[in-house]
Amino acid sequence: MSGFLLRQRGLRGKTVASMRSSLADFLAFLADAGRGPQGLADRLPPHRHLRHESEPHLWTAEEIRRLLAVIDRQSATGKRDYAMILMTARLGLRISDLRHLELGDLDWRAKTLTIIQHKTGRPLSLPLLDDVGWAVIDYVRHGRPGTACAKVFIKHRHPFGAFGGSSSVATRLSRYAARAGIGFPPGQACGMHSLRGALAVAMIGSGTPIPVVSAVLGHASSDTTQAYYLRFGTERLRCCALDVEDVLSRAGAGERGA
């Protein structure tokens, strides 16, 4: 199987990553069922799918409302997808942190969510907003398959365990968007991470201080937030625009003074 994966290197990176994930799930299933040795899934060749550098789609509040409205919350998978997408849109959690989120990370009495971020290794504590909390409760009580896995969001195919290195939530996100009639211009990234970016831009646009935005996103420094997200705050950038005639007149005065 390793040789098979290596021969697929000519395919799109995302296709190879999905193929590897499926093989790893199958090998883990065989091991759990006693029909194969343990640890084979971890011995598959590593493959990391790198996203192309592209501008994220800046979702509007109306688009997010329409997106959530088309999800079938009567189905178990719909309950899970709704909670995951809502958690990213409202709290800005990375997809990696959603995959690693555990039931013990949720403090229902204090209404807080506390994790160690998978990407940075830094702690992050966020308020567990009411709509997010009820969506998680609905999934855990009425949609989540019975399993000993401690993760909140799990795969809905056997074995019912944690997500692997890639998940199909991003794929279903684009399907939900299409169902809601939301289109994306060519070259725009429209995955789960774009929802996180939309939250950051909305917070900046509403006048939220940059340190607060950084804290919500779990950035180690406000410089990271400013370097990436400030460029999308068109209205605030417009306030920084210089008058061309004023700049030219000052430049001319400087030349005469020299």
229 in catalytic set: yes
Q: Are 93 and 105 in contact (CB under 8 A)?
A: no
231 in catalytic set: no
Given 47, 94, 100, 155, the catalytic residue: 94
Given 118, 172, 193, 228, the catalytic residue: 193
Given 119, 141, 238, 256, the catalytic residue: 119
94 in catalytic set: yes
Residue keyed to tokens 């799918």: 49
- Range list of H helices, 124-221: 130-142, 169-179, 192-205, 210-217
Instruction: Report helix, strand or coil for 115.
Output: strand
**Distance, CA of 242 to chain centre:** 36
For residue 62, how many other CB atoms are within 10 A of its CB?
Answer: 9
Given 82, 139, 176, 229, the catalytic residue: 229
57 in catalytic set: no
151 in catalytic set: no
193 in catalytic set: yes
Task: Give 250's contacts (C-beta < 8 A, 6+ positions apart).
Answer: none
Point out the residues that are catalytic: 94, 119, 193, 196, 219, 229
